[in-house]
Amino acid sequence: MKNLYILLILGGSIFFSQTISAQSRVDRILINEATRITNDSFPVFTATPKGARIYAVKQPNSAMLDAIDKGLDELFTVAKKNNYKKRLNYADYTIFIAKADRTQDRDRNYSPDIAVPAGQYAGSVYDQGGFIYAAGMVLAYNPCAFVFAEHTKDYTRVSNVVRYEGEHLVLYHNDRKRYNETADHSQGGGHPILN
Ligand SMILES: [Zn+2]
């Protein structure tokens, strides 16, 4: 009995370490990209109750994690209404929670946003001089990953940001034409895309 117990523990730990190393090559690429975009580091790895994968600047509270699940709930529901089938599992999503580079928008509304390189928004009304403030940003399509800022209140906004960034990823995998038409907001158009 004692031997069996030891074997199970050992088996368990081998499986565990294999899983970790299989994830880490891809995750390292994602972490590098998130760091490049935000200049933050992401020492915390956790998951939402429903299994979305989270990297964060610090341990997110349960309201934050629940709000992320709620956003994905809404995304998956509307995706199924559109007969989309791919990437509708919580664990398909790796979500980075970065430091907020501002907490108020121009109208002084609570709006934790990240400053990101202007890219296709250079010269547009969003351009702040080489960067723009974004509520969230897609980091990778395969696997699905995006980043948004820490919130200390207004968790409804978190659910919305998650749903809206997720829309780009769901469209990429299920409806490439519509993805192409809606990926770039610099020419107008916003969220929600899916109804
Ligand atoms: Zn968008």
> Domains of the chain by range and CATH?
29-187 (3.40.30)
**pTM for this one?**
0.87
Strands 144-149 and 93-98: parallel
Ligand 1 mean position to 58 CA, how many Å?
A: 25
Buried b / exposed e over 76-108, threshold 16 CB at 10 Å, is bebbeeeebeebbebebbbbbbbbbbeeeeeee
Place of tokens 């430091």: 99
- CB atoms under 10 Å from CB of 122, counted, come to 14
At 194, the pLDDT band (50, 70, 90 cuts) reads very high
Ligand 1 mean position to 9 CA, how many Å?
A: 45
Ligand 1 mean position to 18 CA, how many Å?
A: 35
As a whole number of angstroms, the distance between CA 148 and CA 96 comes to: 6
pLDDT of residue 185: 83
Contact 195, 78 (CB under 8 A): yes
At 187, the pLDDT band (50, 70, 90 cuts) reads confident
Ligand 1 mean position to 12 CA, how many Å?
A: 41
